Amino acid sequence: MTVDTDALKGLTRAVAAFSAGMSFDRLDAENVRLARRCVLDGLGVSLGGSQQHGMAPLMTYLRATGGTEQARLLGSRGAALPAAQAALWMGTAGHAMDWDDTQLAEGPGRPYGLLMHPTMPPLAAALTTAELVKSETGAPVDGRRFLAAFATGFEACCKIAEAIVPDHYMRGFHTSGTIGTFGAAVAAAHMLGLDEAQTAVAIGIAASSAAGIRANFGTMTKPLHVGRAGHNGVAAALLARAGFSANDEALDGKWGYLAIAGPGGDPAQVRDRLGSPFTMASPGVSIKPYPSGVLTHPSMDALRFLMAENGLSPDAVESVELAAGSNVLGPIRFARATTELEGKFSFQFLLAAIILTGKAGKAEFTDAFVSSQACQDMQGRITTRFDPEIEAMGWDKIRSRITLTTRDGRTIVRWADERYRGGPAHPLTDAELEDKVRDCAEGLLGEARLATLFGHVWSLQDIDDVGILFDDCAWMDR
């Protein structure tokens, strides 16, 4: 493939200038509202994810490596590590359940729902570098400064994800790990007060650290991609602050990230639109109702509604067929799940959970539930089928069709509704988002602590020290 390198120009400098010139005052009331929702969602999924299997070996690794106590670990009552290591912990926890939000595409040829998870890399970077700033200066970081850094990193990674060609993901890169590294670097650079030149260098360092492949989907390493994005982004900003050098146009040109990892892209589509509008407002993000890929959610909701509308019990279900195009079926790679990690990428499990319990949350995404006889039996009744007619409709929406056959011989068909819960057309309400966080924090935080956390996040722009969020989320002694 020949890459038009003349077209791959100017994005690094544009992102660096945006970061250096960004302030809280550039966020209008709607952007602030949306940013608070993303922060609350990110804190919630980090709490839920902190109990996942991969976090115990990660904690063993972090405790063995140690280092200067610059930032607390989210969820811990006292443990602190170097800021980059703390970001590694939080980013990994935040993606461990695959319940963090999803960026929606707007560019031509971009598959709907297949860009990245935009909140966790900049959130982990902004929150841990806020701790670092406090440890270095003795002065806490207030909510306005934190929101500005988070929104800056969020916007940077979303626009870079929009610029790179879809082949980046289709060829097997995991965008949340690769492009997420740039979001974390920019968030950390903004929090640390780096100027435009330093931020361009931080982006250059991040470009040589941005990694993650889809071969590791269904393993502990998939969430580690997001943790490494946070870690590498923070490290890039700190190295740039210390005077380390890098190419200051590393996104651009013949040897730049877009050309090498795309290969190719369209910076002109986003270069002059950083913050105009902010992606979190348009086209928006999907705050997930289920801890699985957003491509699965319309189908899960369709089956959920079908079961409720027809008053069906699990015993009434003879079989279920899901028909969809390759954009939906391709990334969901396991035909039958035997573990919770595989379940996130198995329609057989996801639909079985909906049939058996009417929901799919923290309680269902466990190895015990996935491997139970009832779940395994139900998975055996569910099939998926590639449908060329659905494929021909295009990838601009998440399209699928559910056909359920009952034991008494009825056939019921329901198309997935593009107004699936969680997307911009049908967002979770603030109350539903709080309920999601309650589910994530089940067994960790009581209702009084949750009420305190909710109050702090909903008034985040007014708090004097964002470190209070670590206090709100602390549940473990290690």
Q: What is the CA radius of gyration of the chain?
A: 22
Residues 267 and 305 in one domain: no
Residues 224 and 300 in one domain: no
Residues 279 and 299 in one domain: no
Is residue 422 in some structural domain?
Answer: no
Report CA 447 to chain centroid distance, whole Å. 26
Residues 99 and 160 in one domain: yes
Residues 303 and 410 in one domain: yes
Query: Which tokens hold the place of 438?
Result: 């309650």
Residue 308 sits in a domain whose CATH number is: 3.30.1330.120
Residue 11 sits in a domain whose CATH number is: 1.10.4100.10
Residues 409 and 282 in one domain: no
List, in sequence order, every beta strand (DSSP E) within 240-350. Answer: 285-286, 317-324
Instruction: Supply the range of the domain harboring residue 272.
Output: 5-289+455-473
Residues 203 and 316 in one domain: no
Is residue 432 in some structural domain?
Answer: no
**Of the candidates 169, 63, 67, the residue with the CA atom closest to the CA atom of residue 112:** 169
Angle between helices 175-191 and 120-137 (to 10 degrees): 30
List, in sequence order, every beta strand (DSSP E) within 113-272. Answer: none
Is residue 167 in some structural domain?
Answer: yes
- pLDDT tens, N- to C-terminus, the chain (478 residues): 555 555 556 999 999 999 999 999 999 999 999 999 999 999 999 999 999 989 999 999 999 999 999 999 999 998 899 999 999 999 999 999 999 999 988 766 776 666 899 999 999 999 999 999 999 999 999 999 999 999 999 999 999 999 999 899 989 999 999 999 999 999 999 999 999 999 999 999 999 999 999 999 889 999 999 999 999 999 999 999 999 999 999 999 999 999 999 999 999 999 999 999 999 999 999 899 999 888 899 999 999 999 999 999 999 999 999 999 998 998 888 889 999 889 988 999 999 999 999 999 988 999 999 999 999 999 999 999 999 999 999 887 789 999 999 999 999 999 996 667 888 888 999 999 999 999 999 999 999 999 999 999 999 999 999 999 999 999 987 6
Is residue 216 in some structural domain?
Answer: yes
List, in sequence order, every beta strand (DSSP E) within 1-141. Answer: 71-72, 80-81, 102-103
Residue showing tokens 């705050």: 287
Residues 411 and 314 in one domain: yes
Residues 306 and 260 in one domain: no
Q: Please identify, among 415, 446, 465, the residue that sits at the C-terminal boundary of a domain.
A: 415
Is residue 80 in some structural domain?
Answer: yes
Residues 102 and 247 in one domain: yes
Return the SS3 of 404: strand
Give how many domains the chain has, as a whole number.
2
Residues 234 and 340 in one domain: no
Residues 239 and 352 in one domain: no
Is residue 443 in some structural domain?
Answer: no
List, in sequence order, every beta strand (DSSP E) within 10-101. Answer: 71-72, 80-81
